[in-house]
Structure 1
């Protein structure tokens, strides 16, 4: 239909033909009229040019509207037909969100756009690199994009910089004119704009013999109302399963929402209601474990909404086991309080063993959840054993020793003792309410750390991160992270000659959180994140899906959350927490990632797979045609006659 653009030359041809029909004849009497109109000749010529331009553009706009340009066609405009298109497809869980007022997930919308675009590039090779597998594969026809397992929904996360790097590697070995199309919802956690890999990505594309054109299909924008459920932790406590759960929603409404929460445990379902008053709600769900069922699995689910991939959280558990802690400290008041806080009466299965620091030559941490250390920092083989313990997921709380010591552990050491002024105290001034051992409870209740007062302290010095400070800004609680575990450093002792840390309102919740987090290293054998190495079968193991939630796809089960069996092991796989982060990458930031490259961004806000996103484009050409014809009609209107009968300028009057 674009051949119709040639019709725009018709008004120009008619104009040229009309000029040839007139023959110039010199007539003496015309000199007065010529003189009178000479001044307006320039205006007439400009008027005629505008009329001719409006006619030509009106016909051109009509021809373009008749061709019905598509949004997908825009992907290739100005570049010609490429030999190869490399599609980088974001298959993360967030891509299953539907746009506001829509019913089709963004992943499906992206595939429809690509299919529509490839239909106009007949003969162009299509290679898919999806975010789940990360491996390039040829797509025999764009028509199968929506039916192959490599484009199916997943519960994984995405790393766009890694996909771009894979595309550059592929193009290094594949000569020809290529384009790289990136289909993404622009979630900031998927793009990771601060990742150093982007520098190498730009360098890799720039070094190619024929630099490809980059087309980013942005499917961001407002999403449909949605609630997401996530499992924060899962542990067995005797005959009960304790689940820490978080439910979030993406709308700004302050109105409470009542959600039915369905708990499925070993095939038995129960339903209760939870009220979501704000944007997120954290709570603890306790499920009784049936007698004679040492192992099992299940999931918590909420009704389907704007994203069907975030409505369930899976868990699994094994046989009950005692929770053991070690207390390394000399006899004394602080030791007694630490022993009581680490294994208080009424806490099923908790025990603590005290070790004298002077008698430790070897530290046995088998089956230990947490270690409370109120002695000089360990050195030698003991320190090495402690590092292994923490690296494997254990928790250690260091309290200052009574005597001075120059020992260091993991880049941390104790300062000399400082005492407060007579009649004054060191008081906790600020602490992190969202992270660490002093964080607020699931119901938002804060730990009353501001009640803590001290007259004596040793400050932790070194590479730790400070999570709580005294009123003079010096650290009270510092943290050093080791892979899966953590070492904590407190700057005062639960001894009333040092502080009132022995009061149960601070020491008890801190100690129990330490023990619980340390014990989770035994329960993490039943939990993993989809896409992580721990969510893969070990050599010789096969994979099978045990649950029936969400109509699992066997060919895609490696990338789906659920209850998976690896040989004799049962694991609950859940989507990454980053997929619940709603932050969208800003346009300027995204464009800066491709600085120096030929990159174009296309924002697709359509809500239907049937909508090709181009309807406003051809409608705009129709509106433009009407505007051109209206302007032409206005310019063709005759001049108003002179009602006063006064002589025209330049015309002589009769005597």
Structure 2
């Protein structure tokens, strides 16, 4: 319960007035002992306890009547979702999570969480006439005055989006806004408590707490949590898209949020340049990754399309968009001296039957500069580069290229990207270095989309050089030393393998390991040419360049023209065509725990409200002052009844000379 006029609660002190009057009246009478009075006291001793109880009840009713009147004057409210204390605020700043995950519906519900949040805010603001409402939504991040709570559900700034949310940034914007806006303010946050939206480890929360605490009048915070169990839902995501000759290769992931292990048959619709085709996908478990090839019509060098599944618990995660351009040859570069290793690497990087793949070998002794135009991946079986060559490789990696370094034949003290090679070590006579463990979910040795593992357990070596430095180890020898390490740059990756595809070193030249590793490197490097057609909503790449406009090309769903900058789909920017998809973080189902959320506002006046309702029925603040007025009348009426004189036994006795009724 809260109060619109809490200062009037000081009137509760008036409830002590009847008690004070009673005590003062007792002091006005003196007790005089009189012998004849002893007989009267003895006669009334049995009824004294009842009289005292009656007087106490009368006094209690008078005090409660005054207290009820004072409470009614303070205008009490009962709020189930949002509430306020300390008086009516001059300003409410609403931080609204408009991310794609907010479109999920609660279990057994039909209304998305975003709409539920807006209805709760409207209901809570119904009694705050004259309070200014400012909206800061997660998509635009800009403060906007809302003329009335009634329009919250109809303005474009509260509509559904395919963006992600960053609550720390929103809270920081609110603090900046309140710095320039004096008065009594409250900050309301409406969110589904998705952990990726809150990012509790973000250092920005420290500055947010400091900024809010330093305001002349510290605002109160109200967090409306719309977490909890969601309706059954399947989501589709495009992991990668690349053109391979006359077909488009799409890597797809479908997930579902329930714990059931029963297989689900899901119709998958592929739309390419307006032509639709449907196939069935069997989803067993909670996650299913697979590859789909879509034939490209010979007359269409460029185009776009999307994959879609039926609508369910969240309508924002049922489609994934793609686009493509003219076919480009996939060129790789091999830096290695002539020999057995160079021969095997040439075959693995551009095997027969792989359309459009070529490889060029360079002798490391003849490299003065690198021409990396159009190169997807580099295989480096030589000492680590230095000087201008190293600078060229860094630019190549930052632009999305892939480089795989193999342990060189000769010793070298050179270092690249904070990595270097150790001296050669050899196994004991009659024994091998064996690959013992590797990451099955990440890296060049990860399992395939269908779950098939790379047979890396067959790999054996008699000679090795260990990668040393700041790289992340993804595979280890049986003695725990690193076999495969990586260094991530801006968009690309440098890989380090502690062996050579040379049988005097190991059996790495066997196709079991070398072929999948090489092809994955080439495919990953070629993505930097296809990424010109893909971007994530809200990223820098998804924004028009200076002088470009924006046109939505697809007709999936029900696009909102005023909201198209925040919606996934096929967008044209001048001469460029981009397929924009929701951020991957929006498919993360992890929620922020209550203790962690409260810790973000440590030292601030923050209150959390958890709403697990599934309807938009208003359940906000309800006035209670009428109930307290009725209670006051009841107390006063009870006091009056208790004050009525009680009939004595003498009044019931028959008058002299008059017969009894007995």
Normalising by structure 2, report the TM-score. 0.87
Give the 3-state SS of the residue equivalent to 1:556 in structure 2: helix
Q: Where do 1:272-287 residues align within 5 Å?
A: 272-287=279-294
* Residue of structure 2 in register with 1:28 after alignment: 38
Cα distance between partner residues in 2 of 1:559 and 1:247: 23
Matched, 1:487 2:494: yes
Cα distance between partner residues in 2 of 1:482 and 1:43: 87
Q: Where do 1:110-259 residues align within 5 Å?
A: 110-259=117-266
Cα distance between partner residues in 1 of 2:40 and 2:506: 114
Q: Where do 1:288-327 residues align within 5 Å?
A: 288-327=295-334
* Residue of structure 2 in register with 1:75 after alignment: 83
Change (3 A) 1:332 1:118: same
Cα distance between partner residues in 1 of 2:366 and 2:195: 52
Change (3 A) 1:427 1:143: same
* Residue of structure 1 in register with 2:531 after alignment: 524
Q: Where do 1:167-566 residues align within 5 Å?
A: 167-566=174-573
Deviation track 1:359-407 (CA, whole Å, cap 9, x = no partner) reads 0001011000000000000001110001100110000000011010000
Please report how far the alpha carbon of residue 63 of structure 1 lies from its aligned counterpart in structure 2 after TM superposition.
8.8
Change (3 A) 1:340 1:610: same
- Is this contact kept in 2: 1:425–1:454, CA < 8 A? yes
* Residue of structure 1 in register with 2:646 after alignment: none
Deviation track 1:472-493 (CA, whole Å, cap 9, x = no partner) reads 1100000000100000000011
Please report how far the alpha carbon of residue 145 of structure 1 lies from its aligned counterpart in structure 2 after TM superposition.
1.0
- Is this contact kept in 1: 2:4–2:77, CA < 8 A? no
Please report how far the alpha carbon of residue 427 of structure 1 lies from its aligned counterpart in structure 2 after TM superposition.
1.0
Change (3 A) 1:50 1:268: farther
- Is this contact kept in 2: 1:93–1:156, CA < 8 A? yes
Give the 3-state SS of the residue equivalent to 1:525 in structure 2: helix
Change (3 A) 1:115 1:27: same
Give the 3-state SS of the residue equivalent to 1:352 in structure 2: strand
Give the 3-state SS of the residue equivalent to 1:71 in structure 2: coil
- Is this contact kept in 1: 2:436–2:477, CA < 8 A? yes
Deviation track 1:205-235 (CA, whole Å, cap 9, x = no partner) reads 1111111111111111111111100000000
- Is this contact kept in 2: 1:325–1:370, CA < 8 A? yes
> What is the RMSD of the two structures over their aligned residues, measured on CA atoms?
3.5
Deviation track 1:131-180 (CA, whole Å, cap 9, x = no partner) reads 11111111111111111111111100000000000111111111111111
Cα distance between partner residues in 2 of 1:54 and 1:426: 89
Deviation track 1:455-479 (CA, whole Å, cap 9, x = no partner) reads 1100000010000011111000000
Give the 3-state SS of the residue equivalent to 2:294 in structure 1: strand
Please report how far the alpha carbon of residue 310 of structure 1 lies from its aligned counterpart in structure 2 after TM superposition.
0.3
- Is this contact kept in 1: 2:4–2:87, CA < 8 A? no
Please report how far the alpha carbon of residue 611 of structure 1 lies from its aligned counterpart in structure 2 after TM superposition.
3.8
Change (3 A) 1:59 1:252: farther
- Is this contact kept in 1: 2:123–2:618, CA < 8 A? no
Count of paired positions: 618
- Is this contact kept in 2: 1:161–1:201, CA < 8 A? yes
Q: Structure 1: state its 5+ residue gaps.
A: 637-655
Matched, 1:590 2:600: no
Deviation track 1:295-320 (CA, whole Å, cap 9, x = no partner) reads 00000000001110000000000001
Please report how far the alpha carbon of residue 55 of structure 1 lies from its aligned counterpart in structure 2 after TM superposition.
9.0
- Is this contact kept in 2: 1:604–1:613, CA < 8 A? no
Change (3 A) 1:454 1:614: farther
Give the 3-state SS of the residue equivalent to 2:125 in structure 1: helix
Please report how far the alpha carbon of residue 70 of structure 1 lies from its aligned counterpart in structure 2 after TM superposition.
3.8
* Residue of structure 2 in register with 1:645 after alignment: none
Change (3 A) 1:471 1:43: farther
Deviation track 1:100-148 (CA, whole Å, cap 9, x = no partner) reads 1111111111111111122211111111111111111111111111111
Normalising by structure 1, report the TM-score. 0.87
Deviation track 1:72-122 (CA, whole Å, cap 9, x = no partner) reads 5x422x221111111111110001111111111111111111111222111
Please report how far the alpha carbon of residue 59 of structure 1 lies from its aligned counterpart in structure 2 after TM superposition.
8.7
Cα distance between partner residues in 1 of 2:429 and 2:437: 23
Deviation track 1:532-578 (CA, whole Å, cap 9, x = no partner) reads 00001111111000001011111110000000000111100000000
Please report how far the alpha carbon of residue 35 of structure 1 lies from its aligned counterpart in structure 2 after TM superposition.
6.6
* Residue of structure 1 in register with 2:653 after alignment: none
Cα distance between partner residues in 1 of 2:267 and 2:296: 21
Cα distance between partner residues in 1 of 2:269 and 2:528: 27
Cα distance between partner residues in 2 of 1:590 and 1:185: 12
Give the 3-state SS of the residue equivalent to 1:320 in structure 2: coil
Give the 3-state SS of the residue equivalent to 1:589 in structure 2: helix
Change (3 A) 1:547 1:47: same
- Is this contact kept in 2: 1:606–1:613, CA < 8 A? no
Give the 3-state SS of the residue equivalent to 1:310 in structure 2: coil
Q: Structure 2: state its 5+ residue gaps.
A: 643-662
